[in-house]
Amino acid sequence: MKAINIGLIGLGTVGTGVVRLLTAEKELLARRLGTHLVLKKAADLDPARLAAAALAPDQVTSRAEDILDDPEIDIVVELIGGCGAAKDYVLSAIDRGKHVVTANKALLAHHGNDLLAAAAAKGVEIAFEASVCGGIPIILALRQGLAANRIQELFGILNGTANYILTQMTQSGASYGQALAEAQAHGYAEADPTLDVEGIDTAHKLAILMSLSYGARLDLDSIAVEGISRLDPLDLQFAGEFGYCMKLLAITRDDGHRVEARVHPTLVPRDHMLANVSGAMNAVYLTGNAVGPILLYGQGAGMMPTASAVVSDLMDLARNLICAVPGRVPALGWESALNTHRLIKPINDLVTNYYLRFSALDRPGVLSQVSGILGKHNISIAAVIQKGREAAGTVPIVMITHEAREADARAAMAEIDRLPIVSPPTVFYRIEDPHLHAAQI
């Protein structure tokens, strides 16, 4: 059977892992496929990377065009990241009738609709298992394994860097700055950690997971995004006193009419499975109407876990080539996803439980003023902690609310922050706690 020729653009960490797998597991892959995956050429601008790759001189090049222009190459693997040259290379590959494998979640989240449409028009495939949660086969699960389900809700810890920082802050009481420095020292966080800590990378991945879940166009702009960089360890401590821990969650939920689309630090009960996803690990907890709840857990980044996902895509595309059925399963797992929009629930319409921390003067009547304003805005208090008097004169009052509408919570906080006895701003976090929902029913 004809071997499948591969061109690889980008010999960074993941690219190096892909070379390693294709080389070390050559026979295993051939036994599974019935043919060989041949790395015909790898391109990188950095001569040091080309020299370090365990490849023959005629297998390496500094010019991506040598891959794109090679008519013998069947599949192009794009591993350079970003939305600049990567986008041009992917479009060029599609234009030349080549299939594409990419790990590039930013590219897909920003330009996925156009790229997938271009690929469909050319009759080629784009595969992207490595774009979300590295080695966890969540894309395969949503495209195929769970295809008989309506995805009712999905919660993801999709960013290892943020999860590492939150774990450090929770376990050692470290400040955000200290935990970030530690993440950088261990190589988890970039020198510029913005994409990871501000929830942007998580939002890119949620946009992809939502398209796969609902069979709709990618819609990054509708996702409400908040990061973890302004977290105060004090709130992690109070959260712990209420039995919660803080996780940066990607959340989507389908009410049958509209879908929630949000990324933010979230309090989850300490006995929830996601609360025990620590360090740089990733997890997706989702519920399908037929299958019920499922947890997928594993390494979301790193050389070999991500290479595992890239090579699995190569094998999938190779099988479709062998059987001459490219596009047998549509890229997003639905026939008409690119023509379908889902209505997104604006964050102000969200109904959930809130954690609120006010800084108020320790005077008689303070609690009744605060709770009076909450009551006026239809917000009912489920639990309160008030700490003793401090030198500065203000004390933290921490509350957990019953389910409330976000617009009401924001209006109440704005009014409370105008009280002369309160030092604004009030801190608030959303809670995902099935026990609280049950308690209110």
Comparing CB distances to ligand HSE, the nearer of 170 and 353 is: 170
What's 8's DSSP letter?
E
Report the alpha-carbon distance of residue 304 to residue 17 in Å, rounded: 5
Query: Cβ of residue 258: shortest distance to ligand HSE, in angstroms?
Result: 28
Query: Cβ of residue 164: shortest distance to ligand HSE, in angstroms?
Result: 8
One DSSP character per residue, 294-336 reads EEEEEE-SSHHHHHHHHHHHHHHHHHHHHTT-TTSS-TTSSTT
Report the alpha-carbon distance of residue 235 to residue 175 in Å, rounded: 11
Do the strands 126-127 and 404-405 form a parallel or antiparallel pair, or are they unpaired?
A: unpaired
For ligand HSE, the binding residues (CB under 6 A) are: 159-161, 196, 201, 300-301
Comparing CB distances to ligand HSE, the nearer of 166 and 301 is: 301
Pull the structure tokens for residue 23: 């080389």
Geometric angle at alpha carbon 439, from 434 and 441, rounded to 5°: 95
Distances (CA, A) of 120 to 161, 264, 288, 318: 34, 34, 28, 17
Distances (CA, A) of 46 to 310, 391, 419: 22, 58, 59
Query: Cβ of residue 187: shortest distance to ligand HSE, in angstroms?
Result: 11
Report the alpha-carbon distance of residue 100 to residue 73 in Å, rounded: 11
Comparing CB distances to ligand HSE, the nearer of 99 and 204 is: 204
On the 0-12 / 13-18 / 19+ scale of CB atoms within 10 A, 344 is buried
Inter-residue contact 108 to 132 (CB < 8 Å):
no
Query: Cβ of residue 134: shortest distance to ligand HSE, in angstroms?
Result: 7
Inter-residue contact 116 to 49 (CB < 8 Å):
no
Distances (CA, A) of 142 to 3, 91, 102, 136, 212: 29, 25, 18, 12, 6
- Of the residues 40, 98, 205, 345, only one is catalytic, namely 205
Comparing CB distances to ligand HSE, the nearer of 50 and 307 is: 307
The answer for 75, left when phi > 0, alpha when psi is -120 to 50, beta otherwise, is beta
Query: Cβ of residue 167: shortest distance to ligand HSE, in angstroms?
Result: 13
Comparing CB distances to ligand HSE, the nearer of 137 and 160 is: 160
Query: Cβ of residue 276: shortest distance to ligand HSE, in angstroms?
Result: 18
**439: amino acid identity, one letter:** A
* HSE-up (13 A, CA, CB side) for residue 130: 29
Distances (CA, A) of 186 to 135, 357, 396: 20, 33, 34
- Residue 171: helix, strand or coil by DSSP? helix
Query: Cβ of residue 304: shortest distance to ligand HSE, in angstroms?
Result: 14
Comparing CB distances to ligand HSE, the nearer of 108 and 373 is: 108
Comparing CB distances to ligand HSE, the nearer of 22 and 281 is: 281
Query: Cβ of residue 159: shortest distance to ligand HSE, in angstroms?
Result: 4
Report the alpha-carbon distance of residue 157 to residue 167 in Å, rounded: 12
Interhelix angle for 303-322 vs 13-24, to 10°? 60
Question: Is 105 annotated in the active site?
Answer: no
Comparing CB distances to ligand HSE, the nearer of 7 and 160 is: 160
Known catalytic residues are: 205
